[in-house]
Structure formats: structure tokens, C-alpha cells
Amino acid sequence: MADVIGLWISAILTIMITTLAWKETPVSKTAEHIYLGVMTANTLVQAWGNINSVGIQKIMSGQIMYIIPVVLGIMAYARYSKENFWLYRYPIALVVGIGVGTAMSGLVGGKVLDQIKGSFWSLNVPGDIGASVNNLIMVITLVSAMIYFIFTIKAARGPLMTQLSAFGRYAMMAAFGYSFANTIATRINQYAGRIAFLMLEWLQLG
Amino acid sequence: MSQRTIRRQIPLALTFIVGMIITANWFIDAAPLGALSNTITNFNTVMVAFMMGFAGVNILMIHTRRIQRNMGQGNTVDSVYSVLLLGTLIIWTLLGIVMGRSSDTYQWLYTNVNLPLSATAYAATLFYLASATYRVIRARSTETTILVVVSVVVIMGNMPMFVTYVPALLTIKSWIAEVVVTAAYRAITIGVGLGGILMGIRTLLAMETGFLGGTEE
Amino acid sequence: MGENGGIGKTLANLPTWLYFGLIILAMGYITLYPLGFPVPITDQTRNVYNAIEALQPGDIILMDQGYGAGTIAFHEPGFVVVFRHAMDKGAKIVIVSTGVESPMLLERALEKIQPEAKGYEYGVDWVHLGYVAGGEPSYASILGDINGLFTDDWEGTSTSSLPLMKELSAPTNEKIDLVYIMTAGGDVVEGWIRQSAVRYDHTLITQVNEMMVPTILPYYPINCDGIMNGGVGAAEYEVLSGYAGEAVKLSDMMTMGGLVVLVFLILGNIGYFMTKGGGS
């Protein structure tokens, strides 16, 4: 019985929020507000779960130092006070420092060094002219796309550099075309799931 | 200790210290440093979890004000939506915390309310995308012509129906991905990486302080 | 051009309800009467398959089941088929969630997988640790000392009582053989690439939605060993593994929906060219 009720609630909410794409009506606004309420609530529930398991449970099991992040987390709410706003700076400073320290170390390797190392493609692959041509195209595309983003060096404005920059722009448009086609595929797949739910699970047509 | 020291310089110093501990742990393989770094990142989990509560507080503040304003103007209809939102938020949160996020009841509520709303809200953007595709994507210039042509080829390459009759579409799609897209996005990735490293260094050295917020020094 | 202005203008200004309705009708029709076209396999998905196929019994996979309800249509079939394949190989599975909705979605997927029915014992062969906040620093925590971060699993059972968690004592990264990321967020994959593949040289495979694939391609195959391309990739994996599932059915719906969008893209451009420079 609970499953049947749940199925009907799901179907009705699905149809209600689909109407938002058509135009804004009381039906779609109702669904929109319920959506915002339940999604925010879920975020709060999950956040509480983490505070409890990683913070409070650890304190109660004897790891007293976990009082520090709990106190700092409570201090974060000082952002809503004009007089005590400065208290918020302590937790946010730590969060930013931790985030920057974690990400920056990996950026050097992952986003720069490994990417550059991986871009030394062989321009003469023995016995495979296709791969050699592909690698040449990749090198030219990579270099010209990077030249496109150089705005501050005068030498990058010369005739050869301008041509390379134009080629880089065209290559990036091709890449964005690929990205756009994939975005369409993503959205279609997402909606396909909803149509499959309505027709096969709710209406049981298939 | 001056107010400026307590309210600004100590937080910036803390940013530098924890950032350097975590960065040092990446390059120095020492057990005590690793343990300290793990503890700091665990602390981060708790602090970020607290900050996730800002979403609830902001919604409470905005919609409470909206209710007061609407009621003051005699506009009860718009207030109903805000009341619905706040009521849903409070009841759902209490249910999740009291019954437990892994309870069958909360799972049922999530599956039959959150899931269809969330899934459909994302999925409904297909219609906006289809509308934009039809009305806006035009081959007006060389650049947009390239975009349109590549989009058409890749859309066809994503469809098994077309690939069955024209297998070359899959080859072309794969070539575009592995040659053109990889190279072009790699250039962007390297640029973003360099920019990210510079911003990180500036943040740790207190040259970027926007994250502190507030207007007083 | 002015003579074709009428037809061109019509083509460039078709009513909204027409293409909205056609998309829904086309996809609805195919749901009931699938076309059954074969799904072609790409190298990116084949590499994901090969990474799982190369696992030995007892190897440990760390899965970040980080997708939300928005991408459940293809992430769930992808997760189900990879989990089944991993069970066939006898690998042990540790699941964490970096999305707030993910742990509840896992319960749905597990009803389809039914690991206990296949002889997989919870706590010994697989564990579900639940949601963890914090982003990339939490990935570093997980790979540094997972038991230091998670004291309980998703159901509230103490991790110290779970045999699999004892195998993951610090440094946890040395005990992990494969990292598998399912997410709609490119920043999540990049974070895991930095903390796992770059730092510890783990084998890393991922399933992302199609529109995030271009941002991950620069890492393939340098740091990322395989990419499952959304619903298309999940369908390819189902074909490769022999576990027919929902993704293959979705691929037909993808075909019809994409066909409608493609037709209107072309019609819009034809209408534009017919009216361009020909006056209103």
C-alpha cells in the first residue's frame, strides 16, 4: 500500500514540476517550493549526520580535540551578526587554507606538469602515418589554443601568432560543439529516465 | 593585541599555517606530519558540515521576511508558498534528524518526494535546451558554423541508430574527442591550473583576502 | 531569398509546443516500442571494463557513489553493472558518498544488485560508509586514514567491528587497488584525480554525465584510465559485461530524443539562411 501511495506521489510531483518548463503556474510554483524545502532539508540532515559522526561521537569517545572544529563550526554562524562578524573569519580562514593547501599541491602535478608531459606526442610514429598526423594536429591545436589566451605579450600580436590564435579559436569552437552535443545527450538521458518512470512504472504500459 | 590583529591578521596567519602543513604533507613523507594533516582535514569535514547549515538559515531569513512583507501588503497568496516551503523544510529536517537519515521512513520520503522533484527539475532543462538549440544556435560566422557542424556530427554519433547505418560516425566522433577536444581542453586545463596555483599562493600569502568578508579592517 | 522569406520565416519560428510535444511523443513511443539498435563500444568504456576485469579476488575498490537524483537515469545502471562485474571478480568494495543525495540512491541500486543473494557479505566483502562533507580535503582524509574519518558506517554500525575496514588501516591509500568515481561534477573527478591518481598513482576510472566528459578528457589516459560516458557509456558497459539493463533501453530513447533536437537544429538553421538578407 505504501509503495502504491509513494508511486502516485512521485508521479504527481513529476508532472507538477515538468509544467515549470511550459510556464509558471500555481501548480509549478507549489512543486518548486516543495522541491526547495525538501532538498534544503536533506542537506541539513546529511550535515547533521556528519557533525554527529565525525564531531560529537568522536568527542564522546574520548578524542577531545574534536571540540575545536565543533566550536569553530558554531562560530561560523557569527556571520549573521554585524557586531561579531569577525568570529566567522576563524573557521572560514581554516576552511580556505585547508582547501587551498589540498588542491594546490595536486594542481601542480595534475593540471600542469602531467598535462605538459602528456602533450609530448610523437610526430613520427613508425608505421602509423595516421597517428603521426593526429599527433601533429594535437600539437598545433594545443599550442594555438594557448596562444589564443595570451593577451599581454606584444609578440603574440604578430601575423603568424594571429593566424595560430585564429586556428586555436576554431579548434575551441569545435570542442565546444562536442561539449554542446554531449550536453544535449545528458539532458535527453535525464528526461528519458522520467518518461520511463511515468510510462512503465506508474502507468505500467510496457 | 589590537582589534585588527585579532580580527584579521590571526585568521590570515591560520590560513597560511594550515595550508603549508597540508602542502608540506604532500611532499614530505613523515608519519607525524601525515597524522596532523589527516586530523586537520577531518576538522574540515566538521566545519564544512556546519557551514552547510547556512542554506537553511538563509532560506528561513528570506522567506520569513517575505511572509511579513506579503502579509503587510495584504498579499496572502504569495505568503502561502513561503509557508509551504518553510513548513516542508522544518518538518523534513526534524523527521530526518529524529528518525535517522538511514531509516526506512526517511528513505521512503526521499524516494517518493525528493527524488522525483530533483530528477525532473534537472530533466526539464531539456526543454530549455531544445528551445535554445532551435532558436539561438545559428551558423552565423565561421566559428559558429564549426560549432553547428561538429554538434550535428557528434549528436548523430551518440545515436546507435545512425552509427548502425554509418559506422564512420563513431570513428569521426572518437577522433574529434581524442584529438581536437583533448588538445583544446588541455590548453584550457593548463591555463586554469597555472591560474589556480597563482591564486592559491596569493591566498596563502594573504594577498587575496576577499574570503574573509566584512568591510571593517 | 525574399521569395522564400515566408517558408524560411515559418521554419525559423515554429511554435514552442511543437518541438516540446514531439520530444515527449518520440521518447514515449520508443519506450513502448524500442528499436533495439546495437550499441557500439568505444575505447573509453572498454578501458573501464578492462580495469575491472583486471582485478584479482580480494582487491579493494574505493567507490565514490556521488551522483544525485538528476543523473540517476544513467548513473544507477552504470553503478549496478560495475558492482555486479566487480562481484564476479571477487573484489571487495568500499563505498563513500560525496553527494548529499547519494546514500539514499544507493539503497535503490542495492535492491537491484542484491549482493547478499550473490554471496557477498556486508562488512566483509563490501561496506557503505555514507555521506562525507568537505570536498577535496575529505578525499585526502579517506586516502590517508579512512578509519580516522569514519567511525560509523551509513547504518550507524561502528567501523571497528567491520573486518573490511580493518584491512584499510592507515595509510589507506596503500590498500586501495582501484578508485571508481560516479558523479555529475567535473570538480569531484578532478579532485579525486589529484588526491588519488596524481598523488598515489592509483588506477582511476569514472562515470560522468556526457557534458562533463570534455573537461575530463585531458586527463585521459594520463591520470584517468577509463571514462564511462553517461548513459551511452553505461549501455556500452552493459553490452560488454553481458548484464542487460536499463541503460541499453535508454539508448533507444536517446536516439529518438536526439533525432528530434537534431531535426529542429537543422530546420532552425535552414530557416535562418532562407531569411538572412532577404528582408523580413
Tens of pLDDT, residue by residue over C200-257, are 999 999 999 999 999 999 999 999 999 999 999 999 999 999 988 888 888 888 888 9
* Band of pLDDT at residue B25, cut at 50, 70 and 90: very high
Interchain pair A46, C133: CB under 8 A: yes
For residues B164-172, average pLDDT: 92
Q: What's the pLDDT tens digit per position in A32-66?
A: 999 999 999 999 999 999 999 999 999 999 999 99
pLDDT over threshold 80, residue C272: yes
| Owning domain of residue B192 | 138-204
At a CB cut-off of 8 Å and minimum separation 6, what does A192 contact? C27, C31, C73, C231, C250, C253, C254, C257
- For residue B52, being part of any structural domain is answered with yes
What length does chain B have? 217
Q: How many CB atoms lie within 10 A of CB B39?
A: 20
The amino acid sitting at A23 is: K
- For residue B63, being part of any structural domain is answered with yes
- State if pTM tops 0.90: yes
Q: What is the pLDDT of residue B135?
A: 87
Q: What is the pLDDT of residue C5?
A: 60
What length does chain C have? 280
Q: What's the pLDDT tens digit per position in A179-190?
A: 999 999 999 999
- For residue A51, being part of any structural domain is answered with no
* Band of pLDDT at residue C278, cut at 50, 70 and 90: very low
Considering the domain architecture, whether residues B151 and B87 belong to the same structural domain is answered as: no
- For residue A143, being part of any structural domain is answered with yes
Count of the separate structural domains present in chain A: 1
- For residue B215, being part of any structural domain is answered with no
Question: Measuring CA to CA, which residue among C28, C146, B142 is closest to residue A54?
Answer: C146
Q: What residue has cell string 551578526?
A: A81
Q: What's the pLDDT tens digit per position in C128-182?
A: 999 999 999 999 999 999 999 999 999 999 999 999 999 998 899 999 999 999 9
Interchain pair C138, B167: CB under 8 A: no
Identify the helix (H) or strand (E) that includes residue A52.
none
For residues B15-21, average pLDDT: 96
Q: What is the pLDDT of residue C97?
A: 95
Count of the separate structural domains present in chain B: 2
The answer to whether B176 touches A178, Cβ cutoff 8 Å, is yes
| Dist. CA C237–CA C270, nearest whole Å | 38
- For residue A178, being part of any structural domain is answered with yes
pLDDT over threshold 90, residue C4: no
**CA B189 centroid distance within chain:** 18
Q: Is B170 on the interface with C (CB under 8 A)?
A: yes
Chains in touch with C (≥3 Cβ pairs < 8 A):
A, B
Nearest to B170 among C40, C170, C217 (CB): C40
Q: What's the pLDDT tens digit per position in A104-157?
A: 888 998 889 999 988 888 888 888 888 999 999 999 999 999 988 887 777 667
- For residue A33, being part of any structural domain is answered with no
C-alpha cell at B209: 583576502
- For residue B186, being part of any structural domain is answered with yes
Considering the domain architecture, whether residues B94 and B151 belong to the same structural domain is answered as: no
Query: With pLDDT > 70 as the criterion, what percentage of chain C qualifies?
Result: 97
- For residue A8, being part of any structural domain is answered with no
Considering the domain architecture, whether residues B36 and B85 belong to the same structural domain is answered as: yes
* Band of pLDDT at residue C19, cut at 50, 70 and 90: confident
Q: How many CB atoms lie within 10 A of CB B67?
A: 19
A35 HSE (CA, 13 A, CB side): 23
Nearest-by-CA chain C residue for B138: C269
Considering the domain architecture, whether residues B142 and B92 belong to the same structural domain is answered as: no
Structural domains of chain C ordered from first start: 5-33+254-275 (no CATH), 43-244 (3.40.50)
Considering the domain architecture, whether residues B87 and B27 belong to the same structural domain is answered as: yes
- For residue B51, being part of any structural domain is answered with yes
| Owning domain of residue A175 | 125-206
Helical pair C16-32 and C246-275, crossing angle rounded to 10 deg: 150
Interchain pair A21, C20: CB under 8 A: yes
Residues of chain A in contact with residue B43, where contact means CB-CB under 8 angstroms, are: 66, 68-69, 72, 94, 98
| Dist. CA A26–CA A16, nearest whole Å | 10
Nearest-by-CA chain A residue for C24: A195
What are the contacts of B164-168 at 24+ separation with CB within 8 A? B164/C37, B164/C38, B164/C40, B167/C40
- CB pairs A-C closer than 8 Å: 148
* Band of pLDDT at residue C1, cut at 50, 70 and 90: very low
Q: What is the pLDDT of residue C2?
A: 46
Q: What is the pLDDT of residue A121?
A: 85
pLDDT over threshold 90, residue B138: no
Considering the domain architecture, whether residues B143 and B86 belong to the same structural domain is answered as: no
Q: Is A133 on the interface with B (CB under 8 A)?
A: no
Considering the domain architecture, whether residues B88 and B145 belong to the same structural domain is answered as: no
Q: What is the pLDDT of residue B124?
A: 87
Mutation site, B36, B95, B97, B102, interface C, largest C CB count within 10 A: B102
Considering the domain architecture, whether residues B95 and B7 belong to the same structural domain is answered as: yes
- For residue B212, being part of any structural domain is answered with no
Q: Among the three residues B72, B99, B126, which one is the final residue of a domain in this structure?
A: B99
For residues B120-143, average pLDDT: 89
